[in-house]
Structures are given as C-alpha cells and as structure tokens.
Amino acid sequence: MPRAAEIAAMKGSRKIVAVTSYDYPTASICGGAGADVLLVGDSAGMVVLGRRDTLGVTMGEMCIFTGAVARGSKGALVVSDMPFMSYQASVRDAVRNAGRLARAGAGAVKLEGADLAAIRAITAAGIPVMGHIGVQPQSAAFGGYAARGTDPGDADLLAGQARGIEEAGAFCIVLERVAGAAAARITGEVGIPTIGIGSGPGCDGQVLVIHDMLGLYPDMRPPFAKIYDDLGARAAGAVSRYAEEVRSGAFPAGEHTVG
Ligand code: KIV
C-alpha cells in the first residue's frame, strides 16, 4: 500500500504523529523516533531561513529541503508544502510544481485552502494531496493568525471546506488553529484523517513544528506548541563552554590534535 494510503487507513485505529523537518539530520532523528509523517513545511522560510513570513519560500528551496528530508526519512511519509504562488495561478502550475516536489522525494504534497481544482488535478496525476484549512499562513500574512471555527457560522464553513477537500481526493487534512469543538466535529464528519495543530485532541493526529517543540526558534513560541526540550538553551550553553575553552587554551587537548 502506498505510504499516504497507509496514513489515511490509520483513521479510527491509531493517532497519526507528524512533525516538520527541513534537513537530513532532523529527518533522521524524527523518522528514527517513529514519526509517521515528516512535513517539509514552508514554515522553513521562518524557522530555518529567518524570514518574517512564509511568502518568500521558493520551489527551488522546497526541492532542496525535500530531497534532504527524503534521504533521512527512514520510512516516514514525506509531505512537502507547495509554497505561495506555486499552485494559485493555474491548475497547470499546480500539477507541474507538485511533480517537481515528488521528483525531489516527496511522497505527497500539501496545499493551503480549499482549492478543489488543484487538489483534483494533482491527485489525478498520481500525487497524494494533504489539505490544510483553518489558519493558512500563506494568506494569514495578509490578514492575521486569529483562531478559526470559534463561532457556528465559521465552523460550518470549515466543515464544508473539509468535505469538499475529501471529495476532491485528498488523503488527509491539516486543521490549523481551529477551535477544539469545531475540529472534533470536522473529524467526525469526514472519512479522511485530520491532523491538528493548536486544534485540540479531537483530531486524528497532531503536527508540531520541530523548532517549536525543541525550543529552537527564539522569535516566536506559539502557546499551543508544547516545548519537549529546550535545545536552543542547551546549544547556547555548549557553544559558550567551547568559546571559554578556546580562549583559556583548554581546547584543543592532546586527544583533539592530530599526529
Ligand atoms: O508550514 C508548516 O510547518 C505547516 C504546519 C504548521 C502545519 O504548514
């Protein structure tokens, strides 16, 4: 069974574990630790490249990140984000750019919003698609990151989008910052898994940005992202010790010197 179909079949039997990865070492760690899905998110634009938002991420950058993650994935499904303006202008662009990501190593692609024509065409080309509704950072950059689904009208709108995305052929949907009750409702109404980020335990799986969960992105710590370790602080400590030892002459010792 293709990996995306295996992920879809997990709905109702076990929770799906997804985490972002952008490079070979991180992918090896996350794949080796048993993550089901490695998401090569366009969040890379912020957490790896230090930009203010995700809009500047290019197809070329996404292909490089995707190749590195695929080489380290250890059997996890690699899902790559389609960056801003790689699918919005035409269905033809959508299929061609999804193909570039698949050739770079992605087992599936993710695109933001209920762009049903693009989802249908990419799926028909044989590339599995993950949907993404709720807060959509590619458009939030113009409008804000406010939570979605907090009133009944918006919850209905999101549920309708989720059903459309399922009908268009997606194998899974990310729900970003959707109120917990609305996310649980959507999860019950669609036959494909939902993967939540800030959307509560009612989803079929969870995704976190690896830099958030490991304390590696100092500029912003989203309140819904649990910090499992503060590697940023630990790494700063290690580099300070190295600096002290170089300045004091304690490093390098004999065993760190060749011949
Ligand atoms: O780009 C990304 O990391 C994402 C997740 C937040 C779902 O789309």
Question: pLDDT grade, residue 40 (50/70/90)?
Answer: very high
Cα–Cα dist 107/4, whole Å: 7
Cα–Cα dist 166/172, whole Å: 8
Q: Is the confidence at residue 245, as pLDDT, over 60? A: yes
Annotated catalytic residue within 112, 176, 245, 255: 176
- CA 136–ligand 1 middle distance (angstroms): 9
What fold, for 4-228?
TIM Barrel (3.20.20)
| pLDDT for the residue numbered 2 | 61
| Atom of ligand 1 at shortest range from CA of 41 | 1
Q: Is the confidence at residue 252, as pLDDT, over 60? A: yes
What are φ and ψ of residue 165, in 5° steps? -65, -40
Cα–Cα dist 243/245, whole Å: 5
Nearest of 197, 43, 178, 174 to residue 113 by alpha carbon: 174
| pLDDT for the residue numbered 143 | 65
Nearest of 219, 206, 156, 204 to residue 176 by alpha carbon: 206
- CA 259–ligand 1 middle distance (angstroms): 48
What is the per-residue pLDDT across 96-144, written as a single tens digit (0 to 9) for each? 999 999 999 999 999 999 999 999 999 999 999 999 999 999 987 776 7
- CA 145–ligand 1 middle distance (angstroms): 13
| Atom of ligand 1 at shortest range from CA of 43 | 1
Residue type, 135: V
Q: Would you call 50 exposed, middle or buried from its count of C-beta atoms within 10 A (0-12, 13-18, 19+)? A: exposed
Cα–Cα dist 61/21, whole Å: 13
- CA 254–ligand 1 middle distance (angstroms): 46
- CA 56–ligand 1 middle distance (angstroms): 15
Percentage with pLDDT > 90 across the chain? 94
> How many of the other CB atoms lie within 10 Å of CB of 65?
27
Question: Which residues surround ligand 1 with Cβ inside 6 Å?
Answer: 20, 39, 41-43, 81, 174, 176, 197, 207, 209
What is the per-residue pLDDT across 47-90, written as a single tens digit (0 to 9) for each? 999 999 999 999 999 999 999 999 999 999 999 999 999 999 99
**Mutation pick for ligand 1 pocket among 46, 206, 209 (CB with most ligand atoms within 8 Å):** 209
Which residue's alpha carbon is nearest to atom 2 within ligand 1? Answer: 41
**Residue ranges of domains in the chain:** 4-228, 232-259
| Atom of ligand 1 at shortest range from CA of 112 | 8
Q: Calculate mean pLDDT across residues 142-148.
A: 82
Cα–Cα dist 90/104, whole Å: 21
Q: Is the confidence at residue 176, as pLDDT, over 60? A: yes
Average pLDDT, the chain: 96
What sign results for the dihedral spanned by CA atoms 13, 167, 78, 1? positive
Q: Is the confidence at residue 5, as pLDDT, over 90? A: yes
| pLDDT for the residue numbered 221 | 87
Active site includes 176? yes
Nearest of 189, 172, 87 to residue 138 by alpha carbon: 87
Cα–Cα dist 73/52, whole Å: 28
| pLDDT for the residue numbered 1 | 57
Residue with the two structure tokens 């203010």: 52
Q: Is the confidence at residue 164, as pLDDT, over 90? A: yes
Which residue's alpha carbon is nearest to atom 5 within ligand 1? Answer: 41
3-state secondary structure of 78: strand
CB 38 within 8 A of CB 27: yes
Which tokens is 163 given?
């059903």
3-state secondary structure of 33: coil
Q: Calculate mean pLDDT across residues 189-202.
A: 98
